[in-house]
């Protein structure tokens, strides 16, 4: 009997798979904070074959996302612990084969299925503790999605607070920044089981979503602090100039990407 399942563990039914079959659907609130750092620090994080973007090469976006996701049967929405998760990710822009892409260089999530799903796509996901103030439409225990609304955002991992930020809505916006606005380009890597310094998987992939829906979008000012950690290196991307912050409600679906390059492996 053949085993079924998009991801491990695979069984005769496929019900135990950590990930359901594609397509995957996402709805969420995103806080995007854009700033400029030293372009040399961005270049250090790009693998062979990649170059800095021609324009604004030191631009970085750090994004807090509060997601609800599901598969095509929508069963996860009736068991919300399998649907709700949060993540924080750093995005830069880069060139590959003369085309400019967005690229995620650091990312933390708070659920195992989100971590594995991202690693399958080429996102370098790690587990973390993420919090983002939620807007309200009634009462006083939260900001309104209107000018003057103030949001807090934090990221921690391995018991260390890594990043903390505060964002204040100033006005509506027709976009949510430029750093994270392009198709993603990522590397999918897996070391060989022999642990001999070689890889059994080494691919460059690109992807984007479909059926995107954009909700309320605002821009505003922000403050951000990076804190130290003995095992993280994101501090090298310390802000030198703040650009703008954005808050957006978004929905999108995903069902696959494209392999741009695959290395011949020994």
Which domains, ranges and CATH numbers included, belong to the chain? 25-181+215-256 (2.40.400.10)
Asked if 106 and 124 touch (Cβ cutoff 8 Å), the reply is yes
Could you list the pLDDT tens digit for every one of the 266 residues in the chain? 699 999 999 999 999 999 999 999 999 999 999 999 999 999 999 999 999 999 999 999 999 999 999 999 999 999 999 999 999 999 999 999 999 999 999 999 999 999 999 999 999 999 999 999 999 999 999 999 999 999 999 999 999 999 999 999 999 999 999 999 999 999 999 999 999 999 999 999 999 999 999 999 999 999 999 999 999 999 999 999 999 999 999 999 999 999 999 987 65
Which secondary structure element, helix H or strand E, spans residue 129, and what is its range? strand 129-132
CA-CA distances (angstroms) from residue 209 to 101, 169, 213, 244? Answer: 14, 27, 11, 24
> Residue 62: which of 30, 38, 27, 86 has the closest Cα?
30
Contact predicate 223/166, CB 8 Å: yes
Q: Is the pTM of this model over 0.85?
A: yes
Stated as kind and residue range, the H or E segment containing 39 is: helix 39-43
């Amino acid at each position: 009997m053949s085993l079924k399942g998009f991801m491990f563990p695979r069984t005769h039914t496929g019900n135990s798979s950590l990930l359901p079959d594609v397509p995957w659907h996402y709805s969420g609130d995103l806080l995007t904070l854009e700033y400029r750092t030293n372009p040399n620090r961005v270049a250090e994080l790009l693998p062979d074959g990649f170059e800095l973007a021609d324009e604004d090469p030191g631009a970085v976006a750090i994004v807090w996302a509060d997601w609800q996701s599901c598969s095509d049967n929508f069963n996860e929405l009736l068991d919300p612990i399998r649907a709700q998760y949060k993540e924080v990710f750093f995005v830069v822009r880069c060139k590959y084969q003369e085309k400019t892409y967005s690229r995620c260089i650091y990312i933390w999530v708070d659920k195992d299925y989100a971590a594995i799903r991202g690693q399958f796509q080429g996102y370098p996901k790690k587990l973390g503790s993420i919090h983002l103030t939620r807007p309200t439409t009634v009462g006083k225990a939260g900001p309104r999605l209107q000018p003057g609304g103030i949001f807090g955002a934090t990221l921690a991992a391995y018991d260390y607070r890594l990043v903390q930020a505060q964002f204040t809505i100033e006005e509506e916006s027709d976009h949510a920044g430029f750093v994270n606005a392009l198709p993603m380009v990522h590397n999918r890597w897996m070391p060989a089981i022999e642990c001999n310094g070689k890889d059994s998987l080494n691919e460059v992939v690109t992807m984007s979503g479909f059926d995107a829906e954009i909700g309320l979008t605002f821009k505003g000012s922000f403050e951000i602090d990076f804190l130290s950690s003995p095992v993280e290196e994101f501090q090298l991307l310390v802000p030198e100039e703040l650009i703008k912050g954005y808050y957006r409600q978004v929905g999108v679906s995903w069902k696959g990407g494209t392999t741009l390059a695959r290395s011949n492996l020994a």
